[in-house]
Amino acid sequence: MTLSRDAAMNVAKVLTEALPYIQRFTGKTVVIKYGGNAMIDDELQRKFAQDIVLMKLVGINPIVVHGGGPQIGQVLKALNIESSFIDGMRVTDSKTMDVVQMVLGGTVNQGIVSLINQSGGKAIGLTGKDATLIRAKKMFIERASADLTAPEIIDIGQVGEVVSIDRTILDLLVASDIIPVIAPIGVGTDNETYNINADLVAGKIAEALNAEKLVLLTNVAGLEDKQGQLLSGLTAERVEELIKDGTISGGMLPKIECALNAVKNGVRSSHIIDGRVAHAVLLEVLTDEGVGTLISRNTASPGR
């Protein structure tokens, strides 16, 4: 089929717009946290996998870290295991941890690996327990109370926070044609297994690898101001101001803090992008406009 002149010109425009970004990011590492609608919609899954394969083919090194909260919830419900949350964190006893490992390290992880491989890539699935990739420690939640002189310390079970990332295995994979797909499960010095928030894992991996970008897929357009307008380019300093004045609050706050910490610790830029948009990752990384909010260390540039 022959393209019309207008269609051909549009293709040429897209390719030429992408070229400088491909040149700039060749050889660089981009860590992508994959979750939300992009992970449960069949068509968005397929297009996400295509984005990851294309990035690798043009010389960019993608690393995928995935969540799986809804899938875990479905299995827990089917097994009649009660699920509860405290401050957004799933309380994880030993039975729940068994399900988390089965779902994240098995079903979800291997499903993503298969999609990437079907799209022409070479992916391999890992959890943080493999080669002790993610060292973790038990997380406790502190809750202030007017009746107590010190905050209440709440034990939420086998929920962890990242202590360190051993980049050895990731360096080997990144230097090859293989795309790592990582489930956010860590291991403690006591050999305990920990369920860790995927955003936090992605951020820490990006920091450990001095990644060019950290990309967090969400179910919103990005960070918005108090009038509901998308904020497309922000400095770390400006983000801190928005946290202080209450523009950033609620459920978006942990994600923004993860993105902010990454750019403060060596990652060139963090991106909060709309995973409901087809090919969101490519649009954010390889076009002028992007599809979300970019947070950079020093200058907020409209370029991605």
Among the ranges given (53-67, 97-111, 213-227), the one the predictor scored with the smallest mean pLDDT: 213-227
Confidence at residue 64, expressed as pLDDT on a 0 to 100 scale: 98
What's the confidence (pLDDT) of residue 301?
Answer: 46
Predicted TM-score (pTM) of the model is: 0.91
Query: Which of 70-74, 118-122, 132-136, 177-181 has the lowest average pLDDT?
Result: 70-74
> What does the mean pLDDT of the chain come to?
88
Cα dihedral 120→122→127→128 (10° resolution): -120
Q: What percent of the chain has a predicted confidence (pLDDT) above 70? A: 92
> With 50 as the cut, is the pLDDT of residue 5 above it?
yes
* Nearest Cα to Cα of residue 184 among 68, 71, 292, 92: 68
Top mean-pLDDT range of 54-58, 81-85, 234-238 = 54-58
Average pLDDT score over residue span 208-221? 93
CA-CA distances (angstroms) from residue 85 to 19, 119, 249, 255? Answer: 45, 36, 19, 17
Q: Please write the tens of the pLDDT for every residue from 110-139.
A: 999 999 999 999 999 999 999 999 999 998
The whole-number pLDDT of residue 106 equals 93
- CB 188: neighbour CB atoms within 10 A? 15
Across the range 178-184, mean pLDDT stands at: 97
Is 210 in a helix, a strand, or coil? Answer: coil
Q: Of 130-139, 153-162, 207-216, where does mean pLDDT reach its minimum?
A: 153-162
Higher pLDDT, 109 or 155: 109
292-296 vs 233-235, strand pairing mode: parallel
d(CA 248, CA 131) in angstroms, rounded, equals 37
pLDDT bin (cut points 50, 70, 90) of residue 226 is: confident
**Residue 214 contacts residue 292 (beta carbons within 8 Å):** no
